[in-house]
């Protein structure tokens, strides 16, 4: 396995590591504070020896060192407890406490090791602190290197102040180099492994969510085929069989032909949306942005719905300047407008009015709106419009829908670099608005 201690990491990984460090810091304070008190008591009991000045100084300095450590440990433990309780895992205070804890205990290890040189030659305190800290607390590589290098420099010079034996001093400094390098390497390796583990966990979670979404998509697909598509097709067959009756009055034949036309049109629309939606889910929708006049594109979309609108005696009014141009995929744009218009026609009452407008909303975007004066929507219905929690709502003449068209609208609008919104109230009509960029400001990700 290739080792890279400087792996890229995101904020969620840092937050997770911060949680672990603060929890460990809390445990350290719960264990180490009583140990400090015990060591202070033990060193306090060492009798004073008037003939051994160095031993007396060593005893006093060790007591002071552990007293400072005990107080600082309380502070670190209390801070870790507060941050965990408030769920503060990022920021200057949370990050600073962790770095300060590592630096403080490293300096403490150096201090106790230097004081021990008065009466002994061992550097156990420095060894224990460097190795334990590298294993227990995870530190960013840049801070880890800075702390360990700084601690060794302090260790190198401080033991020289108390150790007079040149051979022992040289041996301790050499051993100090070994301990520092081992601890620094351990710190970097453990950071690297933790970041890799967390990145793998994030990838697994992402794959899990994608699988759940794929299952929902598959369920939606099958439910459409099983219910929404099978029903209209059966009705088309039934109406076609009735029309074979030559003795049927012409008025009834006309009504059946009109009903058959409605069914065929809605089924064709459903099939088209289903195909487009399947391509979206597979990531195979082509995206070819270009500059085009928004007014003529809107007129093309309105022309497709002219027959359906005239059957309800609806007036479709276009309010857009011909000079307005946008930078988007024209096919995705016209499909979006057509789907919104189809919804407006479906839920408008006879003799109603539909307005399709476009206006400049910012320096970079134009807002397109499709507004009707139809049955409107409730808050609950609006909350489910752009999700796969489809609700079956009939139009003013019994037209059925799947909600698939609005899913496509959202996908296409976002692919074109805009966003879609809806405003509605029951019995007061509905207004859908979406934005389109006026210049090249959006580049969708290419599909792998």
- 68 and 200 in a single domain? The answer is yes
| Confidence bin at 180 (pLDDT 50/70/90) | very high
* Cβ atoms 189, 3 nearer than 8 A: yes
Give the Cα separation of 346 and 275 in Å (integer). 21
Q: Which domain does 347 fall in, by range?
A: 287-437
Q: Give pLDDT tens digits for 348-364.
A: 888 899 999 999 888 88
pLDDT over threshold 90, residue 30: yes
| pLDDT for the residue 217 | 63
**Whole-angstrom distance, CA of residue 257 vs CA of residue 243:** 8
Residue 168 has pLDDT above 60, yes or no: yes
- Give the 3-state secondary structure of 360-374: ECCCCEEEEEEEECC
Structure tokens given for 47: 């009798």
Cα(first)–Cα(last) distance of the chain, in Å? 26
Residue 401 has pLDDT above 60, yes or no: no
Whether residues 28 and 122 share a domain: the answer is yes
Kindly list the distances between the CA atom of residue 265 and the CA atoms of 194, 231, 241, 295, 357, in Å, as whole numbers in the listed order: 58, 14, 18, 25, 25
Do 106 and 194 lie in one domain? The reply is yes
Q: Is the pLDDT of residue 6 over 60?
A: no
- CATH number of the CATH domain containing 387: 3.30.565.10
Alpha helices (H) along 283-391: 294-304, 306-311, 330-346, 379-383
- Residue 70 sits at φ, ψ, to 5 deg, of -65, -45
Total number of domains in the chain: 2
Neighbours of 144 (CB within 10 A): 25
pLDDT digits over 221-236, tens only? 665 565 556 666 777 7
pLDDT digits (tens, 9 = 90+) for 251-265: 777 777 777 776 777
User: Which of 160, 194, 209 delimits the end of a domain?
Assistant: 209
| 405/346 Cα distance (integer angstroms) | 12
CA distances from 56 to 53, 115, 118 (A): 5, 11, 10
Residue 5: which pLDDT band, with cuts at 50, 70 and 90? very low
pLDDT category at 399 given cuts 50, 70, 90 is: low
Q: What is the rounded CA–CA span in Å between residue 135 and residue 129?
A: 10
Q: What is the pLDDT of residues 131-144, one digit of tens each?
A: 999 999 999 888 99
**Per-residue pLDDT at 391:** 55
Of 175, 209, 243, the last residue of a domain is 209
Is residue 364 a contact partner of residue 442, using CB atoms and an 8 Å limit? no
* Distance set, CA 37 to CA 32, 74, 108, 283 (Å): 9, 12, 16, 65
């Amino acid at each position: 396995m290739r080792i890279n201690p400087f792996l890229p990491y995101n904020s969620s990984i840092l937050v997770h590591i911060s949680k672990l460090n603060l929890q460990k810091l809390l445990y350290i304070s719960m264990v180490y504070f009583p140990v400090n008190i015990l060591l202070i008591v033990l060193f306090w009991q060492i009798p004073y020896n008037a003939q051994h000045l160095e031993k007396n100084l060593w005893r006093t300095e060790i007591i002071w060192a552990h007293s400072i450590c005990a107080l600082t440990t309380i502070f670190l433990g209390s801070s870790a407890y507060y941050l965990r309780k408030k769920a503060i895992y990022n920021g200057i205070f949370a990050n600073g406490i962790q770095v300060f804890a590592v630096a403080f205990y490293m300096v403490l290890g150096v201090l106790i090791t230097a004081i021990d040189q008065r009466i002994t030659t061992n550097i156990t305190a420095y060894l224990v602190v460097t190795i334990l800290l590298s294993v227990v607390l995870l530190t960013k590589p840049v801070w880890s290197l800075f702390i360990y290098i700084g601690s060794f420099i302090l260790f190198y010079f401080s033991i020289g102040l108390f150790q007079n034996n040149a051979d022992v001093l040289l041996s301790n400094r050499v051993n100090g180099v070994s301990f520092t390098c081992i601890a620094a390497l351990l710190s970097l390796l453990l950071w690297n492994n933790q970041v890799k583990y967390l990145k793998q966990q994030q990838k697994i979670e992402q794959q899990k969510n994608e699988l759940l979404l794929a299952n929902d998509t598959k369920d939606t697909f099958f439910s459409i085929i099983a219910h929404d598509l099978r029903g209209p097709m059966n009705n088309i067959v039934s109406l076609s069989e009735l029309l074979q009756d030559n003795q049927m009055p012409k008025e009834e034949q006309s009504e059946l032909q009109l009903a058959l036309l409605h069914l065929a049109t809605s089924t064709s629309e459903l099939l088209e949306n289903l195909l487009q939606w399947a391509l979206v889910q597979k990531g195979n929708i082509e995206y070819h942005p270009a500059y085009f006049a928004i007014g003529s594109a809107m007129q093309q979309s309105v022309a497709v719905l002219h027959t359906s609108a005239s059957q309800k005696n609806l007036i479709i009014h276009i309010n857009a300047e011909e000079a307005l141009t946008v930078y988007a995929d024209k096919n995705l744009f016209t499909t979006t407008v057509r789907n919104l218009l189809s919804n407006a026609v479906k839920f408008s009452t006879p003799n109603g009015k539909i307005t399709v407008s476009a206006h400049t909303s910012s320096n970079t975007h134009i807002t397109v709106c499709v507004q009707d004066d139809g049955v409107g929507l409730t808050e609950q219905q609006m909350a489910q419009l752009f999700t796969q929690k489809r609700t079956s709502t009939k139009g003013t003449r019994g037209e059925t829908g799947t909600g698939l068209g609005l899913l496509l609208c959202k996908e296409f609008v976002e692919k074109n670099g805009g966003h879609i919104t809806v405003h509605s109230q029951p019995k007061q009509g509905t207004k859908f608005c979406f934005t389109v960029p006026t210049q090249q400001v959006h580049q969708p990700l290419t599909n792998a």
